[in-house]
Structure 1
């Protein structure tokens, strides 16, 4: 249940109309990283969340995002100023012609779409996506700060930017409680799980914790080593299907550099190796 609380979360002040900046601010009203997207995404995730604690967090943050949507819309309307009689070169003419206020588009006029919403039902994936969404929104606000000298508007943007940081922190902390679950679970540990494939040519291959240490194996020439069909180990039983059907021999068509490994030596009766 929702109530209309007439006091806004944060008082919006605008020193003077600025239709040009009003148009830029539409990015956070109806854009892919804006407040409406965030509210709808977190609400959608909350509906499908069976963890009562995380559901509560998602609903709280979603509700606050709607309050931010209200703030941005109010600011846009104030920046537009009176729209009953505007000049031909009015820099936000599309808003003056249509609703005389903010429209649910981004700053380029593309309409808001539910395609912006990312929800999978996997809590680890969704919270990681939410954290990234908050960082993208923060980045937009930082860039918007560079486009206005209005003290009141800058004050509101700094508040919103701080709240994006707060939400990002909450999502990151919630992620810590889900380590080893969902898509973070190591559900398919193969020889390829911790390989880094060096697919660059020439000098300057960079090394760091993303491709060394932590059990990572660095493959210098993966195209030569793995040019044929990938093998994920022995089958569980003699009758089980392999990843690739028997008799596959098209290993040179796609990668002429690949050398077909030698066929294993047949077992001698009485010296069979155990099947794992």
Structure 2
């Protein structure tokens, strides 16, 4: 259940109209990293989430993102100023002509779309996506901050930027409680989930926690070791534990040297066979 609380989360104040900046601010109203995208994404994810703790987190932040959409929209309307009569070179002419207020587009006029929403049903994957979304939104606000001298607008943008940091922190902490769950689990050929493939030649190879320690095996020349016909292990069979699904077979189109046995005939398949 939703309620209309007439007090805004943060009181928006604009010193003077600035249609140019109003158009830039549309990026956070109807853009791919904006407030509507965040609200819809977190709400959609929550509806498919069976973990009551994560569901509560997603819906709390989704509700706040709607309040941020209200703030950004209010600021855009105030920055536009009167639109009953505007000059030919009005910097936000599309808003003046169509609505006199914010449109669900980004700053380039591209309409908002549901394809912005990322919802997989896997808690670990979704929260990782959400954390990244907050960082992208923070980056946009940091750049917007450089494009206005309006003290009231800058204060609002700083508030929103700080809330993006807070949401990112919450998502990161929640991810920390899900280690080994969802897509964070080892999958199928687990010996390769801890290998770092050095695909570079020449000087300048660097080592760090991304390719050493934590059980990681560093492969200096993976093409020499694993290239050619696949030979790292026998196929487990369609109903084996850890298999993708019954009847699954590897494609051979990307490796013409590899001939995969046909379980039904016991004969190698032709390298040119397409599955």
| Structure 1 counterpart of 2:67 | 67
Structure 1 residue 112 and structure 2 residue 108: aligned? no
Please say if residues 35 and 65 of structure 1, whose CA atoms lie closer than 8 Å, have aligned partners that are also in contact: yes
Q: Within 5 A, what are the aligned runs for 1:72-91?
A: 72-91=72-91
Counterpart in 1 of 2:224?
A: 224
Are the aligned partners of 2:137 and 2:164 in contact in 1 as well (CA < 8 Å)?
A: yes
- 2:130 is matched with 130
- Structure 2 SS opposite 1:218: strand
Report the equivalent of 1:175.
Answer: 175
Q: 1:6-25 to 2 correspondence within 5 Å?
A: 6-25=6-25
Deviations 1:33-76 (A, max 9, x none): 00000000000011111111211111111010000000000000
Query: Could you tell me how far apart the structure 2 residues matched to 1:223 and 1:60 are?
Result: 48
Q: Which moved more, 1:181-190 or 1:86-95?
A: 181-190
Give the conservation status (yes or no) of the 8 Å contact 1:39–1:62. yes
Shift of 1:189: 4.5
How far apart, CA to CA, are the structure 2 residues paired with 1:169 and 1:96? 38
Offset at 1:182?
A: 0.5
Following superposition, the deviation at residue 194 of structure 1 comes to 1.5
* Aligned partners of 1:10 and 1:71 also within 8 Å: yes
**Within 5 Å, which residues of 2 pair with 1:216-255?**
216-235=216-235, 245-246=260-261, 247=268
Contact 1:191 1:232 in 2 (8 A): no
Do structure 1's residue 204 and structure 2's residue 204 form an aligned pair? yes
**What's the CA shift for 1:21?**
0.5
Q: Take 2:222 and 2:29, find their aligned partners in 1: how far apart are those partners? A: 46
**Cα distance change on mapping 1:226 and 1:189 into 2, 3 Å:** closer
- Tell me, in whole angstroms, the C-alpha distance in 1 between the residues paired with 2:269 and 2:220: 26
Partner of 2:145: 145
What TM-score results when the alignment is normalised by the length of structure 1?
0.85
Q: Distance in 2 between matches of 1:232 and 1:245?
A: 13
Displacement of 1:190? 3.0
Deviation at 1:236, TM superposition (A): 5.2
Gaps of 5+ in 1: 251-276
**In the alignment, is the contact (CA less than 8 A) between 2:226 and 2:232 conserved in 1?**
no
Quick check: 1:188 aligned with 2:206?
Answer: no
Higher mean C-alpha deviation, range 43-52 or range 200-209: 200-209
Deviations along 1:118-154, one digit per CA (max 9) or x if unpaired, are 0000011101110111011011101110111100000
Q: Mind listing any 5+ residue stretches in structure 2 that lack a counterpart?
A: 241-246, 251-258, 262-267
When the two chains are superposed, the root-mean-square deviation of aligned CA atoms in Å is: 2.0
Match of 2:154 in 1: 154
Judge which range, 9-18 or 172-181, deviates more.
Answer: 172-181
TM-score by length of 2: 0.85
Q: CA deviation at 1:248?
A: 6.9
Q: 1:190·1:232 contact (CA, 8 Å) conserved in 2?
A: no
Question: How many aligned positions are there?
Answer: 249
CA contact (8 A) 1:95 1:103 kept: yes
The equivalent of 1:29 in structure 2 is 29
Which residue of structure 2 lines up, in the alignment, with residue 121 of structure 1?
121
Larger Rg: 1
